[in-house]
Amino acid sequence: MNSRSNFSSKLGFVLAAAGSAVGLGNIWRFPYLAAKYGGGTFLLIYLILAITFGFTLMIAEIALGRKTRLSAIGAFKSLDKRFGFLGILASLVPIIIFPYYSVIGGWVIKYFAVFISGGVQASAGDTYFTDFISGSVEPIGWFFLFMAFTAVIVLCGVEKGIEKVSKIMMPILVILTIIIAVYGLTLDGAMEGLIYYIKPHMSDVSAKTILAAMGQLFYSMSLAMGIMITYGSYMKKENNLESSVRQIEIFDTGIAFLAGLMIIPAVFAFSGGDRSMLNAGPGLMFMTLPKVFASMRFGGVIGTIFFVLVFFAALTSAISLMETIVSVFMDKFGWKRRFTGIFVAVLACIMGIPSSLGFGPLSFISWMGMSVLDIMDFISNSVLMPIVAFFTCIFVGFTIKPKTISDEVKATDGTFKAEKMFNVIIKWVAPVFLVLILISSVASALGLFTI
């Protein structure tokens, strides 16, 4: 047990966990959702949910990890044998996400390479993106390269690899985001976009907006997939858990907010206020933004910086996914880090190939209109994550009891300021909402009804 690696400091822990949380979800998904669900309204709801639900779930997961010093698979089981299945279910989520997340990571490196070599105009072509992802060999090549970066860092271990890289990359990411956001706001017509983005429209408040914000929150904070349990297992007792969670949340939400600031006003300026351009979903980052960059002065440079930033964000998230899988295998089979790392990387390369080919040679595989990659995303995010989060709440609320978690939070200096709120949310409010999220996402995917 003593040989388990650790983060050396609280800052190292916070930045690594924030590195996991801040990813593609913040940079393309959040701005797009915010635009779709009424700008300021969505922001406000998201913020409220983050400091209540997000906080509660993250506290529970990190405390579970730190208390048991085990990754998800062992953590639940060691506290109650009947919940062993939950550890397996939670560990399954990163195993499904990691390969396809890395496929997208590969696309990001490709765009970086295109921008830095002066290909801004080419990348703005209407079919550039679809031509690229429907290829067979090229996207796989970039995907493997992204995997190689991730694997090298994870093989270096928690302190020398993950902590070090996060300490360098996260501050750079913040600075780059601010630079691009400020530049974007100076474009003609950007102010209108800014107002749209931050001004709440109360008429937009609906069950749908709340559920969308909630789903985004879980994904964005890397909850319900064992990641925070694993990172918690590397956290020292002398580091304050409650304030760490607050800082991670501020980081994650702050970057999401800035990403919106970076993208929405710029797209507004480019499209002359045409909101439909913002609803491009996954295409927003790879299809709409390059057009925006191509039309800007210094667009080549800004675009290059943008894709470096997205690369950092995606990489630190991928690291957390891979580390979680590695630590599950190490705990379960007693393997060494090096062997496990290589094993996991090879496995993920194989598993990711269908997701990559799903836009080209394998495009005939589709289910409810979804490609292979979308199917993976749907199973992990819309089905498994709410289930895992629901049972985690039941487990903490009714089996081991919230007090077990509170005691762990208090282990540092005896305080847990939000204890009351934590107890109520974990036992009653969160489980109800999670069931609603599950029903609504499955029903809308199956075309049954939408809330």
Cβ of residue 314: shortest distance to ligand PHE, in angstroms? 7
H or E element, residue 446? none
* 396 near ligand PHE, rule: CB under 6 A: no
Closest to ligand PHE by CB, 124 vs 225, is: 225
CB 23 to ligand PHE: min, Å: 2
Q: Is residue 150 within the footprint of ligand PHE (CB under 6 A)? A: no
Concatenated DSSP letters of 166-224: HHHHHHHHHHHHHHHHHHHHTSTTHHHHHHHHHSB-GGG--HHHHHHHHHHHHHHTT-S
Nearest to 7 by CA among 210, 252, 236: 236
Q: Considering the complex, what minimum distance in angstroms separates the CB of residue 225 from ligand PHE?
A: 6
For Cα atoms 40, 41, 45, give the angle at the middle one, nearest 5 degrees.
115
Residue 220 found at the interface with ligand PHE (CB under 6 A) = yes
Rule CB under 6 A: say whether 392 interacts with ligand PHE.
Answer: no
38: helix, strand or coil:
coil
Of the candidate residues 222, 244, 304, 327, the single one contacting ligand PHE (CB under 6 A): 222
Q: Which residue of 320, 392, 412, 423 would you call a contact of ligand PHE, by CB under 6 A?
A: 320
- Quote the least distance from Cβ 385 to ligand PHE, whole Å: 9
Listed in sequence order, the residues at least 6 apart from 224 whose beta carbon sits closer than 8 Å to its beta carbon are 57, 90, 93, 218, 384, 385, 386, 388, 389, 392
The tokens of 410 are what? Answer: 């208090």
Cβ neighbours of residue 14 under 8 Å, at least 6 residues apart?
A: 244, 247, 248, 251
How many residues make up the chain in this entry? Answer: 451
Tokens found for residue 288 = 């709409």
- In the shown chain, the binding pattern of residues 45 to 84 toward ligand PHE, with x for contact by CB under 6 A and - for none, equals ----------------------------------------
Q: Pick from 12, 19, 23, 184: which binds ligand PHE (CB under 6 A)?
A: 23
Tell whether residue 388 is a contact of ligand PHE (CB under 6 A).
no
Pick one of 7, 19, 20, 103: the residue that binds ligand PHE (CB under 6 A): 20
Which residue matches tokens 């997961």? 61
> 417 pairs with which residues across the strands?
none
Q: Is 316 in the site for ligand PHE (CB under 6 A)?
A: no
- How many helical (H) and strand (E) elements, i.e. helices and strands, does the chain have? 24, 0
How many residues contact ligand PHE, by CB under 6 A? Answer: 15
Nearer Cβ to ligand PHE, position 26 or 356? 26
The reply to whether 327 sits near ligand PHE by the rule CB under 6 A is no
26 counts as binding ligand PHE under rule CB under 6 A = yes
Residues in contact with ligand PHE by CB under 6 A are: 20-21, 23-26, 97, 219-220, 222, 225, 227, 317, 320-321
